């Protein structure tokens, strides 16, 4: 049975960076589940049909990291039929040996509540906005407003709201370097695997 690591948290918290580092260190597969929603939103048209027809090529688009794609992802992620269509994709992906690291917003609460390791990665709004602004070459104040709007929408949606799983380890990266954040996450994985 594959070992599954669920990493959730808001945008620009560092969850993707941590997830990629863990997957590389452990030899696991990695899936940024937000790309599924970004790709579905970027395809346009009927979002349910787009989700059902999602392909690996759709995930390789070079425009999926834009702020517009993130906003589109947040809007369509609230549609239950879209979520249902993408859950099967995530389950198939995570079934690969020796294990998988999935990062998103509802991995530990909805997609894999039985994941062996659950991390909820967060950071202050100001730190997240500064990170995203630097990544996109955008205005930090605009990024702050967009992140807060998205966080509100994601945390208040009826279907799979953004929140930590009850048994998740919360990792606040506001004052941590990438190396420190990865080291703490890896220590938690090793603690569970040794257990």
Split at pLDDT 50, 70, 90, the class of 83 is confident
Q: Give all strands of the β-sheet with 169-172 in edge-to-edge order.
A: 29-32, 99-104, 3-8, 117-122, 169-172
Binding residues: 9-17
Q: What is the mean pLDDT of residues 94-114?
A: 94
- Residue 159 has φ and ψ, to the nearest 5°, of -95, 120
Split at pLDDT 50, 70, 90, the class of 193 is very high
pLDDT tens for each residue of 49-76: 999 999 878 988 888 988 788 888 888 8
Split at pLDDT 50, 70, 90, the class of 1 is confident
pLDDT of res. 194: 92
pLDDT of res. 180: 98
DSSP string, 47-92: HHHHHHT--HHHHT-TTTTSHHHHHHHHHHTT-HHHHHHHHHHHHH
Element (H, E) at 148: helix 140-156
pLDDT of res. 23: 97
Split at pLDDT 50, 70, 90, the class of 190 is very high
pLDDT tens for each residue of 126-135: 999 999 999 8
Indicate the fold that domain 3-190 takes in CATH: Rossmann fold (3.40.50)
Split at pLDDT 50, 70, 90, the class of 158 is confident
- Residue 175 has φ and ψ, to the nearest 5°, of -115, 10
Nearest to 102 by CA among 1, 188, 12, 9: 9
- Residue 14 has φ and ψ, to the nearest 5°, of 110, 5
- Which single residue is written with the structure tokens 């389950």? 91
Domain residue ranges of the chain, discontinuous segments joined by +: 3-190
**Two tokens at 82?**
């879209």
pLDDT of res. 133: 92
Binding residues for ATP: 9-17
Split at pLDDT 50, 70, 90, the class of 125 is very high
């Amino acid at each position: 049975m594959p070992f599954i690591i669920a990493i959730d948290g808001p945008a620009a918290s560092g969850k993707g960076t941590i997830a990629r580092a863990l997957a590389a260190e452990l030899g696991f597969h990695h899936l940024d589940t937000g790309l599924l929603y970004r790709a579905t939103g970027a395809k346009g048209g009927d979002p349910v049909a787009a989700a059902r027809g999602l392909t690996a090529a759709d995930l390789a688009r070079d425009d999926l990291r834009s702020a517009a794609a993130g906003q589109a992802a947040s809007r369509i992620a609230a549609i239950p039929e879209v979520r249902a269509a993408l859950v099967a994709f995530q389950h198939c992906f995570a079934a690969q040996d020796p294990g998988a690291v999935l990062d998103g917003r509802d991995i530990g609460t909805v997609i894999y509540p039985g994941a062996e390791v659950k991390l909820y990665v967060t950071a202050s709004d100001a730190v997240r906005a500064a990170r995203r602004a630097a990544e996109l070459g955008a205005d930090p104040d605009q990024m702050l407003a967009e992140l807060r709007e998205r966080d509100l929408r994601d945390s208040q949606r009826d279907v799979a709201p953004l929140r930590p799983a009850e048994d998740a380890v919360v990792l606040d990266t506001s004052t941590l370097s990438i190396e420190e954040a990865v080291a703490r996450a890896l220590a938690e994985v090793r603690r569970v695997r040794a257990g």
